[in-house]
Amino acid sequence: MEIRELEPKQLWNKFADLNAVPRPSKHEERVIAFVMDFGERLGLETINDEVGNVLIRKPASSGMESRATIILQSHLDMVHQKNGDTSFDFNAQGIEMYVDGEWVKAKGTTLGADNGIGVAAIMAILESTTIEHPAIEALFTIDEETGMTGALGLKGGLLKGRILLNLDTEQDDEIDIGCAGGIDVTASRDYNQVALFPNAQGASITVKGLNGGHSGMDIHKGFGNANKIMNRMLYNGLVKFNIGLIEVNGGSLRNAIPRESTAIVAVDASQWDVFLNSINADIEDIKIEFKTMEPNLTIVVEPTQVSATMMEPETAGKILNSLYAAHNGVYRMSAEIPDLVETSNNVARVNIKEGKIWIGCLTRSSVETSKYDLANALHATFSLAGCEVALSGAYPGWAPNVTSPILALLVQVYEQLHFEKPKVVACHAGLECGILGTNYPGMDMISFGPTILGAHSPDERANIISVQKFWKYLLEIVRQIPSV
């Protein structure tokens, strides 16, 4: 079946239109123009603020004028991740989608359902002439995935509504009332390159086939981190064989658990067979450890040509030690909310090449003091390796409000439609609600959405039946918004 034939057609058609427009984070110019043109063609008040966010206002439908104005909010950008063997240019191509049973997927790339389904739902409501709704402020933010600069740059006073529905969570039986904040921890330094030792044999090491996933929502699942797995092998190689470290390239985006890593090293040719036996034994150990969570993990070691230089051994030892020591994964579980990750870190990016080292981490927490505790621990770890360490891009979490009036309405509507209670949760992902609340204190905010699995990875997929459920739920919430 074609995407545009799926129900609800108005939503899926808007999603198909949106996904035809390249929209990776930091490169949203075309999707901003696309949404601006959409609002203007509908004859609606359409505003592009100074940082790039788009606001479209639609008056209440007949008979709904006395209802409270609502803000429908989603972000325009998408995570641009692809499989290593997929040829795709996110800056020039639209996403190639297909239907696979009950799921919509993309061919070798992220799908952009995060947060494109939310954007498409809002666009479908704005375009409709039959959906009952109060006055709407449709807020489309930019750059949520790589810094939340759209939400951070949204000025107070622009929005008039006091109820905000954020359509950016990924389990259709959950209503989200809180989220984690985050901070980027970046370590960098230069290093001296020295001549390779005599009789050097080059080796390329590739780690691939990992699940990857969202560095907040999936961080507790025990998935492998390609950077940590690669570093483990490099560390063992340095300790056992004094390998020469030439280059490492692992991971991509700060908010995606790394799926792949490659490295080039040198080993004394006379030790090649022993080296291979040793590293293959390490590989088998790692595969056994991850056999349940990462059945497709592949680690390949092959001979290769190498340059004439390598990292000076003393620096190589310090960097591999620091990466081994750097915390990755869950740091602390919440003491207040069962099963909620409070604090975590994702060792997201490692790039070592031609005299330059760059390591990028994203630390998340719903508790500000714990966030900085872990960030400071990482700062100390990388400082010991001689790196300059920067803490940047900090954004606040969103404190839960269990007495929220809009929460009460969403729970009531869910029970009316499904004859069971929804799960009221806080999440470990970063949602824009916490940031928006700083300039709009007292705004009543809630977040919900359809079931989307594998977000931030090429395995991302949206459940078709769940999207139908989400659409029906959203329309009923909009219809039941109370009077002012």
CATH number at residue 112: 3.40.630.10
Query: Can you give the residue range of the structural domain that contains 123?
Result: 3-179+397-479
Residues 6+ apart with CB under 8 A from 284: none
Nearest-CA neighbor of 474 among 20, 26, 138? 138
- pLDDT score recorded for residue 1: 78
Q: Are residues 104 and 7 in the same domain?
A: yes
Q: Are residues 364 and 434 in the same domain?
A: no
- pLDDT score recorded for residue 147: 84
Q: Which residues of 220-232 are buried (b: 16+ CB within 10 A; e: fewer)?
A: eeebbbbbbbbbb
- pLDDT score recorded for residue 84: 83
Of the three residues 344, 362, 395, the one that is the final residue of a domain is 395
Which stretches of 327-436 are assigned E, i.e. beta strand? 329-333, 341-353, 356-365, 388-395, 423-425
- The CA angle 247-250-251, to the nearest 5 degrees, is 160
Q: Is the distance from CB of 372 to CB of 183 less than 8 angstroms?
A: yes
For tokens 């996904």, name the residue.
19
For tokens 């003491």, name the residue.
335
Q: Are residues 214 and 98 in the same domain?
A: no
Q: What are residue 264's phi and psi, to 5 degrees?
A: -125, 130
Which residue out of 137, 144, 145, 174 is catalytically annotated?
Answer: 144
- pLDDT score recorded for residue 484: 84
> Which tokens is 122 given?
């809002």
Q: Is the distance from CB of 340 to CB of 426 less than 8 angstroms?
A: yes
Q: Are residues 369 and 447 in the same domain?
A: no
Q: Are residues 359 and 442 in the same domain?
A: no
**Below-50 pLDDT ranges, the chain:** none
- pLDDT score recorded for residue 338: 86
Of the three residues 356, 377, 395, the one that is the final residue of a domain is 395
Of the three residues 346, 378, 395, the one that is the final residue of a domain is 395
Per the structure, the count of domains in the chain is 2
Pairwise CA distance, residues 109 & 116, whole Å: 14
- The CA angle 405-437-389, to the nearest 5 degrees, is 140
Pairwise CA distance, residues 204 & 21, whole Å: 37
Pairwise CA distance, residues 278 & 243, whole Å: 13
Which residue out of 28, 77, 172, 176 is catalytically annotated?
Answer: 77
Query: The domain that contains 330 carries what CATH number?
Result: 3.30.70.360
- pLDDT score recorded for residue 67: 97
Q: Which residues of 387-401 are buried (b: 16+ CB within 10 A; e: fewer)?
A: bebebebebbbbebe
Is 144 assigned a catalytic role? yes
> Which tokens is 85 given?
């063997």
> Which tokens is 45 given?
């008040």
> Which tokens is 450 given?
């359809």
Instruction: Specify if 484 maps to a domain.
Output: no
Pairwise CA distance, residues 90 & 315, whole Å: 36
- pLDDT score recorded for residue 252: 87
- pLDDT score recorded for residue 260: 96
Q: Is the distance from CB of 68 to CB of 134 less than 8 angstroms?
A: yes
Is 273 assigned a catalytic role? no
Peptide bond into 8 cis (omega under 30): yes
Q: Are residues 76 and 142 in the same domain?
A: yes
Read off the pTM.
0.81
Q: Is the distance from CB of 197 to CB of 244 less than 8 angstroms?
A: yes
